[in-house]
Structure 1
Amino acid sequence: MPHPGAPSIGDNGTVTTAEPTSPASTERATTTRRGTVMSVAGLATSVLIAALTVVPSPYAVGGAGPTFDTLGEADGVPLVEISGAPTFDSTGELRLTTVSVSRAGSQPFTLGRVLAAWASPRQYVVPQEEVFGTPGEEEAAEEQAQVDWITSQESATVSALEALGHPVPATMLVAGTADGSRAEGLLLEGDVIVAIDGGAVDTFDELAEAVGARSPGDEIAVTVEREGAEVTETFATLDDDGDAVIGVYVDPTFDLPIDVTVQIDSVGGPSAGLMFSLGIMDRLTEVDELAGARVAGTGTIDTTGDVGPIGGIRMKLYGAADAGAAWFLAPIENCADVRGNIPDGLNVVAVDTLDDAYEAITRIGAGDTAGLPGC
Structure 2
Amino acid sequence: MTDGNARTGVWFVGARGSVATTAVAGCAAVTAGLHPPTGMVTETPAFTGTGLPALHSLVFGGHDTAHCPLPKRAEHLTDAGVLPHGLASAVRADLEAADREIRPGGPGAGDTRTDEELIAAFADDMTSFKERLGLARVVVVGVSSTEPLPEAGALRLPPSSLYAAAAVRAGCPYVNFTPSTGLRTEALTDTVAASGLPHAGRDGKTGQTLLRSVLAPMFLQRALSVRAWSGTNLLGGGDGAALADPAAAAAKNAGKERVLADTLGHTPEGEVHIDDVPALGDWKTAWDHIAFDGFLGSRMILQTIWQGCDSALAAPLVLDLARLLARAHEAGLAGPLPELGFYFKDPDGGPAGLSEQFTALLSFADRLREAR
Higher strand share: 1
| Higher Cα radius of gyration | 1
Q: Which structure carries more helix by proportion?
A: 2
Is TM (by shorter chain) over 0.5? no
Q: TM-score range by the shorter chain?
A: under 0.3
